[in-house]
Structure 1
Amino acid sequence: MKQLINNLKGDKGIWSFVALLALFSFMPVFSASSNLAYIGQGNGNTLGYLVKHLAHICIGFAIIYWIHKVPYHYFRAISKVGLPVVWILLAYTLIKGTVIAGANASRWIQVPFIGITFQTSTLASIVLFMFVARYLSKTREEPITFKASLWELWLPVFFTLILILPANFSTTALIFSMILMLTFIGKYPLKYIGIIVGSGILFLAFFVLLSKAFPDSRFFSRVHTWESRIENFSTDKPDEDDYQIEKAKIAIASGKIYGLGPGKSVQKNFLPQSSSDFIYAIIVEEYGLIGGLGVLALYLLLLFRFVVASHKANSLFGKLVVIGLGFPMIFQAMINMAVAVELLPVTGQTLPLISSGGSSIWMTCFALGIIISVTKKEEEIAQELKDAAKREEALQKLIDKQLEEEYSIDNDYSIEDKAKNPMNAVLNK
């Protein structure tokens, strides 16, 4: 175990906070999965869900360990090559989106021969953020023109978002917002960003109008869900999402300061998606306001380590990769918690590293592995500088020692010469 820990390179703070979030996730997942156990098995046995979550976490940490060994500059080329692959996966998802528990889940695909479902938009977001970071770092020393960036940057970005939008508006909005933030930090001209924002709003309006013109089209089937969620959030009209929010608020109110205790949640038996989308409500019910704020603090500390890692990165690509992959992770957590307390309409965003689910955990760990790879490189550079300083200090000591010995020998010879020289005796007389 000690040898394994010594092999973990990179920012130890990121490793620590990720491990704490993953370890804490076992308790709420084990408790909240009772609802799934009753529905799926009929006996309420949650042990299988706990073992499954353990397997997901272990595979996730194996992904982090493997990815953080890869030099992060390799991902510059991977992002360019991987984007067409992502487009194929997203198009396939739109056409062959699977059904989970009888519900429309067009954002998921079934992986052949394995039997697991995979949300392609999570992989697409990682590849897209690296692609944007690659472009901004490449053009930093060159003047940016809107025409050139429109073809090289925004056309691939918008094409990717168009493939995600019909199945998942919240993920599309999150990715688009993070890309705007990334371009702003990368010093992309602000006037061009304004044009892109306006274009995005116009395209969304056009997409909604098309959905009204073709209401029976499968391509626009999710638009009605978006509208109903926004309408339910702004009015008191009862709906299934409103039912979820009400149960989540009851769970949070029941937790009070110290909570009901681990495993003692009541609303987990009534709240749909209690182990994924609304797991934060179960955390507050069982661990109280203290537990809820503790989870929030861990995410904020992780955000702080991302900021530090970005500041220490010696290349612009490394800085932008840490921001592009790290910040969306934290914002997704904030959105999940905001939905649970009804600050935002229901979005379907999970709580990273805590909610149950395989592909979401693995993609989060994939992004974390790349971030840690950036910090590992900076750690290696710092260690090389430290070793070079030690070698220089040792060499200086050796030179000083040799000079001291030569000076001592010269003094000894001068004394002997004075004693043996006969002219000295004459001069002394």
Structure 2
Amino acid sequence: MKQLVSKLKGDKGIWSFVALLALFSFMPVFSASSNLAYLGHGTGNTLGYLVKHLGHIGCGFLIIYYVHKVPYHYFRSISKWLLPIVWGVLAITMIKGTVIGGANASRWLQIPVVGISFQPSAFAAVVLFVYVSRYLSKTRQEPIDFVASLKELWLPVFVTLIFILPSNFSTTALIFSMIIMLVFIGKYPLKYIGFIIGMGVLSLTFFILVAKAFPDAFKNRVHTWESRVESFFNDKPGEDDYQIEKAKIAIASGKIYGLGPGKSVQKNFLPQSSSDFIFAIIVEEYGLIGGLGVLALYLLLLFRFVIASHKAKTMFGKLVVVGLGFPMIFQAMINMAVAVELLPVTGQTLPLISSGGTSIWMTCIALGIIIGVTKKDEEIEEEMKVAAKREEALQKLIDAELASGEENSDNYSIEDKAANPMDAVLNK
């Protein structure tokens, strides 16, 4: 175990909190999968779902390990070349995507060879955040030309979001808001940010009007968005009221200490108990203490992200930590807020805890890049410490030579004479 831990480079705090969240996830996922096990005349055996989740988590940690080995500055160029590929995959998903869970628009793409479905929008978000960080770090030392930024920065952003919007408004809104936060941190002029936000609002309004005027022209979820917002603000009965009511019952039943692991009642009635509403099951089984404990882990992870961003030696490193780390925490907050009815139903999962391969793997790619940034900083610090030791050893030898009154030889310098003794000092 010690040898394995010694091979893990980067911020040990991030590694620890990620491992704690992943380990904790097995208990609520195993418990909450019972309704899925009985669905469609199933046997009720949840062991298969536990093994599947174990596979997702195991593959996720392998992804983190191998991604954090890659020098993070490589992702600057990779993001630029991946964007057109992402657009192509998103376009295919819009046309031939798979409908899962009764959604009225396609979000998933089936890989025929391995029989795996994944959600391309999650991968697109990771690539887009890295691309925006690349642009901001490149233009940091130069005055920003707004017209040029429209082409180099905002055109790729809006093209990506246009592909995601028809099937997933919540993901589109989350990505757009996080990009606005990222460009603000990257010192993009405020007056330009205001203009971009206005463009985003107008574009969304135009899309909704076109979708309502031509409802059969293309797949979209505008009707679902409207019903969820109306239900949330006007107490109007909607299709998601059943889930919200069951989630609130689960949270109320948990009280302070919870019903105990595996003793949830509402998991048998919540359709998305192991994914979208898993936080409600956590509170029901582990009580307020368990819910606050999960919240604390995410906040501690956010704290480590802030520290990692502050310590990063390059502007790209700082921005990529913020761009990939903060959306992860905001997604968790949104999931919890939906469970307690602070926000309308969004369909956002709880990172590293909810079941689902795509969500876990894309989160792990982001974590691998973030840890790669902290790993590079550790390597720089180690090199500086070694250099400082060498300089200190050399200075001691020079002082010793001066104190003994020995004169320097004409054929070689003190540095040459001290080469071997200095190595001996360093070895101590």
**TM-score interval w.r.t. the shorter chain?**
over 0.9
Q: Which amino acid aligns with 2:200?
A: G
Note the 1:25-424 alignment, pairs <5 A. Answer: 25-40=25-40, 42-101=42-101, 103-104=103-104, 106-219=106-219, 221-406=220-405
Residue aligned with 1:117, SS? strand
Q: Spell out, residue by residue over 1:161-216, the C-alpha distance to the aligned partner (whole angstroms, 9 max, x if none).
A: 00110010000000000000000000000000000000110111100110111012
CA distance in 2, matches of 1:51, 1:258: 28
CA distance in 2, matches of 1:90, 1:304: 33
Q: TM-score, normalised by structure 1?
A: 0.93
> How far has the Cα of 1:332 moved from its partner?
0.1
Q: Which amino acid aligns with 1:353?
A: L
Contact 1:339 1:347 in 2 (8 A): yes
Contact 2:99 2:107 in 1 (8 A): no
Q: Spell out, residue by residue over 1:102-138, the C-alpha distance to the aligned partner (whole angstroms, 9 max, x if none).
A: 5445111101211111000011001101111111111
Contact 2:258 2:283 in 1 (8 A): yes
CA distance in 2, matches of 1:204, 1:101: 25
> How far has the Cα of 1:238 moved from its partner?
2.2
1:3 paired with 2:3, answer yes
Partner residue in 1 for 2:410: none
CA distance in 1, matches of 2:102, 2:189: 47
> How far has the Cα of 1:390 moved from its partner?
1.1
Q: Spell out, residue by residue over 1:88-110, the C-alpha distance to the aligned partner (whole angstroms, 9 max, x if none).
A: 01001100110225544511110
CA distance in 2, matches of 1:218, 1:145: 36
Q: Which amino acid aligns with 2:180?
A: L
CA distance in 2, matches of 1:158, 1:303: 27
Contact 1:186 1:320 in 2 (8 A): yes
Contact 1:98 1:104 in 2 (8 A): no
Contact 2:104 2:221 in 1 (8 A): no
**Structure 2 unpaired stretches of 5+:** 408-428
Contact 1:72 1:370 in 2 (8 A): yes
Go from structure 1 to structure 2 and tell me whether the alpha carbon gap of 1:373 and 1:227 turns closer, same or farther (over 3 Å shift): same
Q: Which amino acid aligns with 2:269?
A: F
> How far has the Cα of 1:239 moved from its partner?
2.6
CA distance in 1, matches of 2:292, 2:105: 32
Residue aligned with 1:114, SS? coil
Q: TM-score, normalised by structure 2?
A: 0.93
CA distance in 1, matches of 2:374, 2:298: 18
Go from structure 1 to structure 2 and tell me whether the alpha carbon gap of 1:271 and 1:354 turns closer, same or farther (over 3 Å shift): same
Contact 1:229 1:346 in 2 (8 A): yes
CA distance in 2, matches of 1:99, 1:62: 29
Go from structure 1 to structure 2 and tell me whether the alpha carbon gap of 1:24 and 1:105 turns closer, same or farther (over 3 Å shift): farther
Go from structure 1 to structure 2 and tell me whether the alpha carbon gap of 1:356 and 1:40 turns closer, same or farther (over 3 Å shift): farther
Residue aligned with 2:109, SS? strand
Q: Spell out, residue by residue over 1:380-416, the C-alpha distance to the aligned partner (whole angstroms, 9 max, x if none).
A: 11111111111112222222333344459xxxxxxxx
CA distance in 1, matches of 2:255, 2:262: 16
Partner residue in 2 for 1:423: none
Give the greater-gyration-radius structure (CA).
1
Partner residue in 2 for 1:415: none
Q: Which amino acid aligns with 1:70?
A: V
**Structure 1 unpaired stretches of 5+:** 409-429
CA distance in 2, matches of 1:406, 1:50: 75
CA distance in 1, matches of 2:145, 2:75: 25
Go from structure 1 to structure 2 and tell me whether the alpha carbon gap of 1:330 and 1:101 turns closer, same or farther (over 3 Å shift): closer
Q: Which amino acid aligns with 1:209?
A: L
Taking only aligned residues, the RMSD between alpha carbons, in angstroms, comes to 1.2
Note the 1:4-19 alignment, pairs <5 A. Answer: 4-19=4-19
Between the two proteins, the alignment pairs up a number of residues equal to 407
